[in-house]
């Protein structure tokens, strides 16, 4: 699966973030000067599956694009979803995840827990490249 570069405003979250982790993520990304992993996104609905804190940090850092690994979430059996312990839910479905994003509603932080049976590649994309309207510059 190739890494794609999507406009940050096109991505749709399905759960809230921990505000305390946001500052840490912003500092980490700034210190590195690079994005080291793409975020996982449903190609059809543009729902963020994994990477909510990176997405929120990217917004704080005024990035225009993000590296994305786009998948066919509802059809790809290599991607499963469960709930984190003590999240307040007993179970969750892929359809619920997408539905929340499409309805502009958010689950509590760390509700959904996605597992993938493939490797998400490491990358090194400079922040300056992601701030540009043309991410290739």
> Which is catalytic among the residues 4, 15, 77, 119?
15
- Asked if 96 is an active-site residue, the reply is no
Q: What share of the chain is helix, strand, coil (3-state, %, to 5)?
A: 30, 25, 45
The rounded distance, in Å, linking the Cα atoms of 116 and 113 is 10
Dihedral, CA atoms, 43, 112, 122, 62, nearest 10 degrees? 70
Task: Report, as residue numbers or ranges, the catalytic residues.
Answer: 15
């Amino acid at each position: 699966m190739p890494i794609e570069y999507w406009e940050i405003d096109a991505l749709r979250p399905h759960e809230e973030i921990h505000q305390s982790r946001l500052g840490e993520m912003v500092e980490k990304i700034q210190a590195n000067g690079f994005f080291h992993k793409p975020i996982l996104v449903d190609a059809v609905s543009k729902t963020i599956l994994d990477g909510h804190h990176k997405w929120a940090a990217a917004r704080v850092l005024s990035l225009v694009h993000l590296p994305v690994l786009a998948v066919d979430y509802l059809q790809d059996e290599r991607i499963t979803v469960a709930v984190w312990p003590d999240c307040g839910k007993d179970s969750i479905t892929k359809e619920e995840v997408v539905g929340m994003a499409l309805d502009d509603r958010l689950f509590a932080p760390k509700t959904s827990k996605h597992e993938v049976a493939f490797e998400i590649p490491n990358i090194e994309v400079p922040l300056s490249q992601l701030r540009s309207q043309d991410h290739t510059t």
